[in-house]
Structure 1
Amino acid sequence: MNPKLGTNSRILNSFENCQHSNIMHVETNPFYPKNFLTIGDNTAKIWCEDLQESNIFTMKPSSARLTGGCWSPARISVFYTIRVDGVLEVWDFLFEQRLPVLPVKVADFPLYTLKANEKGSLLCVGAGDGSTSILKMDPRLLTANRLERSNTMEMFDRETRRERILVNRKKALKVEESQKKIYAKARHFQKQEEEEKRKRAGCPVKKAEMEYFRILEQVKEERKQFLMENILDKDKIF
């Protein structure tokens, strides 16, 4: 995401295969805009704008399909997701990535919309039956210690570097595999050309064998002729 020249707007790059189905929500981190959240199918993923090939975090899939979510305006590492079974999930990936730190049953109907106020102390949740619920967040989800932001940003950068190394490794393996295929084809064509040359020139073993028998026959004929000449000379003497 880079600012467009002459404007304050931010333009998203193209990211393919972010989720396995429709993406229900996309939102940049309010504290670190280089990273953004995508929600779809039953997983939430965190991406970095500098790395288009792979996400840097994948939360453990939920037991129900996710319909939306949002970042916490109060804490850099906290975000919320909503599900079709009426459950709101609170995630803090700095603390735990395998499970949400707090699941809350809000309604008996699917939850479709979610919005936090500017301070992050209130969440407004809309359900499929037309009802709206306003939830007050626990103070512990609103207060961050002085190291949390630096630790989270360090975590973002570390995971981005790690994923970039993995992506570059995959690219190198693909290049190596393609080169192996090219070399194999070249060897195959070279072998075919050598076989064709042998067919045109004939088998060297058979050629040597034929030459051997030809010379053998020639020697036999010379000996036979030599013997016949000797016999004729003896007859003339007698």
Structure 2
Amino acid sequence: MDPSLIYSYIKLRKDFGHQPMFSEVAPVMLDSINPNKQEQRNYCLRNPVHKEVQASATVSENFANTKIIIRQDTGINHYEGGWPKEINFTDEEATARYRRRFERDDTYVDAVLNLYPQFEHYINQNNGLGIYNIYFKEMESENPVEKPSIMINSVYKDQQKRPISCISWTYEDKSKVAISYCDRTFPEFEPLNRDYLCFIWDIENPSDPYTYLSPPTACWQLVCSPASPNVFIGGLEDGKVCVFDTRVQFDPILISPAYIAHRDPVNALLYIPSRLNIEFFSGSTDGKCMWWDMRNISFPIDSLIMSVRIPPGDQISLANSEGVSCLQYDKAFPTKFLCGTDSGLVISVNRKGKTYQELMSGVFYAHDGPVKAVQRSPCSSKFFITCGDWRVNVWSDDLISSPIISGIRHRKQINDVVWAPHRFSGYMSVGDDGKFRFWDLLRRYREPIATMPVCQDRLLKIKPHEDGRLIAIGDAKGVLHLLSLSETLVSSGDGDKQLMTQSFERETRRERILENRVKEIMIKFKTTEDQTDEQEKEEIVEEDPFKLVEDEYRRLVMEEMRHTEINTGHSFSMDDTIRTR
């Protein structure tokens, strides 16, 4: 090693300081500070002491509403191009001549020679990998595991805070939501509804309505035409029906006369699916259903009084009719529809019936109060769901005595129910407790699979979009909540439809067996009562005849004694008279 690179550090021992000597000694008090009484008087003892301590990290979750981006894949087929303007590419001779002249150019030859190694590498790589082969195609795909989730997308508020009476989606690519606002309680002293505007909202703009409709009175029902997203049908508070066209004006373009309209507000309004989609029918609490043609609503096509409990000797009239609360029509039954009433009945009506009994083909005693919603199942049109009072029930057309599936009783009333459009076993409900519930009959019978507290106010109406992902819910303060469901709540499994149909059929058979058993018990009980009555009658007939004669004798003696007392003033006893005689 080079001596010049070595340097020695030297320090004397005396520069290290004194050597520390450690030893164990007893504790020694260095200082003692006594409490200051004067300072102690300036403070008070706090007992108990509440102190918040956060041991975990603070985490927040935020949602942002973004615009829907529609993506589309397109391709380009480059057939011919890149020719000079003076060359006609449709002339083969001209293109061949130009190609030969261009290929003799030195620049072209150099470019091809430079690109050849790269092309050769890609061709060999393609032959080695086989990028066009589909790997793992024999492996079965599994359904994704996802928990059901619900999210509030947007909120659309009415400045007047009017209750939402009806929700309707438009039939177009970018669907809009049409909302009618009014208080549906009957006024006692003065009108409750003073602002009659109905709003049409664009779901991408929750701040301002897209457009509005101006009916002459409060609008209880609002339905969009399946044929045109600009045409709407309205049911008014004074019993009239009207037609709106937003392309023409905001006011109604057609309105029915007052003398043929309903006597009460229009409580239900539905389109009848047809080739032209120009027919609809309405129902009111006056107990009448009317069929209309949208081209001429000056007079209804047909009408029917919903009367099923006619007193003996009375005729069918509005006096003994049932007030209509909701209607349901399914294109699977062109001549039939379901009618919910204010008295808790669901009436199955057949328009082609010859007699009135055939018209009212079935009467279901559904609920204790008004039937607020009725809808047929997308799984099978033979089954339908109803809501009213505090329950939701599922019924079958083959069994009118009792529901095949009885829902649980809730603490708050249920205001609306609807089937999931594409999930055959699911339905949704809203009520006075402000919660949205999603039920699945194949998974759970007695509790929902997903619950979402939407708001503190009463939820009145629910309307899903036809694709089943977006759900519109209206409350009593005029706020429309737009909810989105996860994929597991939208689509059904491969065998859900078959399993749900089998479940409905099984419950129907079970209820029919129970019904027959109850009938047998009632017949047996009635037979026992009849036998008991006959035995009592025989006992009365077989009484002792001497006792009957004695009772008759006593009655005659008592009459004679009363007659003697009146004439002579002398009183007799019953025993003395019997002994004397």
TM-score, normalization by structure 1 = 0.77
Alignment counterpart, residue 445 of structure 2, candidates 75, 97, 105: 97
Deviations 1:120-166 (A, max 9, x none): 11111111110111111110012211111111100100000000010
Alignment counterpart, residue 15 of structure 1, candidates 364, 371, 383: 364
Is the CA contact (8 Å cut-off) linking 2:379 and 2:500 kept in structure 1?
no
Number of aligned residue pairs: 196
Q: Counterparts of 1:196 and 1:70 in 2: how far apart (Å)? A: 71
Per the TM alignment, residue 201 of structure 1 is displaced from its structure 2 partner at its CA by 10
Q: Counterparts of 1:189 and 1:198 in 2: how far apart (Å)? A: 19
Higher mean C-alpha deviation, range 120-129 or range 192-201: 192-201
Instruction: Tell me the residue number matched to 1:236.
Output: none
Q: 1:46-125 alignment to 2 at 5 Å? A: 46-125=394-473
Q: Counterparts of 1:77 and 1:9 in 2: how far apart (Å)? A: 26
Q: Counterparts of 1:47 and 1:110 in 2: how far apart (Å)? A: 26
Q: Counterparts of 2:336 and 2:546 in 1: how far apart (Å)? A: 66
Is the CA contact (8 Å cut-off) linking 1:25 and 1:40 kept in structure 2?
yes
Per the TM alignment, residue 106 of structure 1 is displaced from its structure 2 partner at its CA by 1.3
Instruction: Tell me the residue number matched to 1:209.
Output: none
- Structure 1 segments of 4+ aligned residues over 3 angstroms from their partners: 196-202
Percent identity, aligned pairs only? 26
Alignment counterpart, residue 181 of structure 1, candidates 529, 532, 543: 529
**Secondary structure at the residue paired with 1:195?**
coil
Structure whose alpha-carbon radius of gyration is higher? 2
The alignment status of 1:162 with 2:510, answered yes or no, reads yes
Cα RMSD (Å) of the superposition? 2.0
The alignment status of 1:192 with 2:518, answered yes or no, reads no
Deviations 1:154-187 (A, max 9, x none): 0100000000010111111111111111110011
Per the TM alignment, residue 31 of structure 1 is displaced from its structure 2 partner at its CA by 2.2
The one-letter amino acid paired with 1:134 is: L
Instruction: Tell me the residue number matched to 2:520.
Output: 172
Structure with bigger helix share is 1
Q: Counterparts of 1:176 and 1:121 in 2: how far apart (Å)? A: 54
Structure having greater relative contact order (Cα 8 Å, sep ≥ 6): 1
Q: Counterparts of 1:75 and 1:196 in 2: how far apart (Å)? A: 77
Is the CA contact (8 Å cut-off) linking 1:85 and 1:109 kept in structure 2?
yes
Per the TM alignment, residue 117 of structure 1 is displaced from its structure 2 partner at its CA by 1.4
Q: 1:193-232 alignment to 2 at 5 Å? A: 193-196=541-544
**Secondary structure at the residue paired with 2:543?**
helix
TM-score, normalization by structure 2 = 0.33
Per the TM alignment, residue 97 of structure 1 is displaced from its structure 2 partner at its CA by 1.2
Q: Counterparts of 1:145 and 1:84 in 2: how far apart (Å)? A: 32
The one-letter amino acid paired with 1:191 is: E
Higher mean C-alpha deviation, range 55-64 or range 106-115: 55-64
Instruction: Tell me the residue number matched to 1:41.
Output: 389
**Secondary structure at the residue paired with 1:14?**
strand
Alignment counterpart, residue 139 of structure 1, candidates 466, 487, 490: 487
Q: Counterparts of 1:197 and 1:76 in 2: how far apart (Å)? A: 76
Q: Counterparts of 1:197 and 1:75 in 2: how far apart (Å)? A: 79
The one-letter amino acid paired with 2:426 is: V
Q: Counterparts of 2:543 and 2:425 in 1: how far apart (Å)? A: 66
Is the CA contact (8 Å cut-off) linking 1:36 and 1:48 kept in structure 2?
yes
Residues 196 and 36 (structure 1), Cα distance of their counterparts in 2 relative to 1, 3 Å cut: farther
Per the TM alignment, residue 109 of structure 1 is displaced from its structure 2 partner at its CA by 1.1
* Gap runs ≥5 in structure 2: 1-328, 338-347, 349-361, 551-581
Residues 196 and 105 (structure 1), Cα distance of their counterparts in 2 relative to 1, 3 Å cut: same
Q: Counterparts of 1:15 and 1:199 in 2: how far apart (Å)? A: 56
Is the CA contact (8 Å cut-off) linking 1:59 and 1:99 kept in structure 2?
no
The one-letter amino acid paired with 1:173 is: I
Q: Counterparts of 1:190 and 1:38 in 2: how far apart (Å)? A: 52
